[in-house]
Amino acid sequence: MFSKKTTEQIKFETRPSNLGAKSFYNNPKYRAWIYQSFLFIFLIGFFYSIISNTLDNMSAQGIKSGFSFLNTSAGFDVLMSLLPFQTTDSYLKVFTIGILNTILVSIIGIIFSTLLGFIFGIAYFSRNYLIKKIAIIYVEIFRNIPVILQVIFWYTVFNALPIARESLNLGDTIFLNVTGLYLPMLVGESGSGFVYTAIAVAIVSIFLVRRWATKRQEKTGEQFPILWISLGLLFGLPLLVLLVSGVPFHFDYPALKGFNFRGGITVIPELISLAIALSIYTGAFIAEAVRAGIQSVPSGQTEAARSLGLKESKIMSLIVVPQSMRVITPMLNSEYQSLVKNTTIATAIGYPELFTVFAGSVLNQVGQAVEIMFMTLVIYFCINMTISFVMNRFNKRSELTTR
């Protein structure tokens, strides 16, 4: 209860009362009120002038306000969309497509940057001199070059690839050329539902088995080959169902028709360049975080584990990594958030994510800067809040596993 008072308040209360120090302006409570009311008046004036100026300027320039523009037809095409899109569709649809594209590239970026980050972060501790040096060089090079330059660089490299007819060919199934990456697509026929169900069942049963195994180990100390059983379940069960139901799948291979490829999945060069640049750039930061996290685990922990007779691999997975996660997770959280914010650099190469299509193209056509920027920023805040929420939940768990 004592700590809730400020030092100024304590000073005031413990001051001898005959000094006349009880005068109004010396009371920290009133002072706080006075300062804050000044701040309040300043803010009111500030926002009032901004808003009135904005309204004046907008009416002078003939810009409408409100969100009615969202239902107007866009009239331009979007380079890539996860939903079917026509030029006659509304701005709201463009907005949705922008959000989806942002989320897509964020997820790809987060997955690959985490992989790169953990690989290079752990490689830093390798006993092999070359691996260690490569990890350091990777981090120091890519962390210190502006990400927007990296994305433009990769895009330029991509544009130097051969044309469709001479595309790089991997076993006649995967093609890479200047117009993009072409992957075969798995198409489910009737009966494929059984396989999906089998995958779901496998995942659920893996969770159940893991739980049971942990409980049994806590009770009896017996270990269960959880990794092999999990892998067996994950691949075996769907495979079995697949064979029993008569392989209800076929691949849709991309094929050269005319000047370009048809069929399969097309990944546009903008998406690839952006994903590469973001993954490599953020990966360097994550590698640094992982290195710091592992270094933060006191060496006494490793030594104690060794003296207990644990294998080196078990020391890493059971002792060091769980404790280092406490340091790594908050840093991962901020790296993921900055990755999402950095997706906006897509505007330099024209990948149609939220910022490029909505704050770029739509804003150019409509001119309602305030509404459009507001909507765009709200989405980035929402995505980052979701990441923050998930990572904080994860952090709670990793905190529990430590002392």
Could you list the residues that contact other proteins (CB under 8 A)? Answer: 6-8, 11, 32, 35-36, 39-40, 43, 50, 53-54, 56-58, 60, 127-131, 134, 140-141, 143-150, 152-153, 156-157, 298-300, 337, 341-345, 347-348, 355, 359, 363, 369-370, 373, 376-377, 380-381, 384
Least Cβ distance, residue 274 to other proteins (angstroms): 13
Least Cβ distance, residue 50 to other proteins (angstroms): 5
Say which residue the tokens 């302006």 belong to: 25
User: Whose Cβ is closer to other proteins: residue 132's or residue 210's?
Assistant: 132
Three-state secondary structure call for residue 97:
helix
Least Cβ distance, residue 35 to other proteins (angstroms): 6
User: Whose Cβ is closer to other proteins: residue 35's or residue 251's?
Assistant: 35
User: Whose Cβ is closer to other proteins: residue 11's or residue 215's?
Assistant: 11
Distance between start and end Cα atoms, the chain: 28
Least Cβ distance, residue 345 to other proteins (angstroms): 7
The DSSP line for 111-138 is: HHHHHHHHHHHHHTT-SSHHHHHHHHHH
Say which residue the tokens 């704050």 belong to: 359
User: Whose Cβ is closer to other proteins: residue 34's or residue 255's?
Assistant: 34
Closest CA to 73 of 94, 83, 88: 88
Least Cβ distance, residue 381 to other proteins (angstroms): 6
The DSSP line for 13-70 is: HHS-GGGSTTSGGG-HHHHHHHHHHHHHHHHHHHHHHHHHHHHHHHHHHT---SSGGG
Identity at 273, one-letter amino acid code:
S
DSSP designation for 319 = I
Q: Helices marked H in 144-268 — which ranges?
A: 147-159, 192-220, 226-244
Least Cβ distance, residue 366 to other proteins (angstroms): 11
User: Whose Cβ is closer to other proteins: residue 266's or residue 282's?
Assistant: 282
User: Whose Cβ is closer to other proteins: residue 87's or residue 156's?
Assistant: 156
Cα 339 to Cα 138, 147, 153, 278: the distances in Å are 18, 10, 18, 7
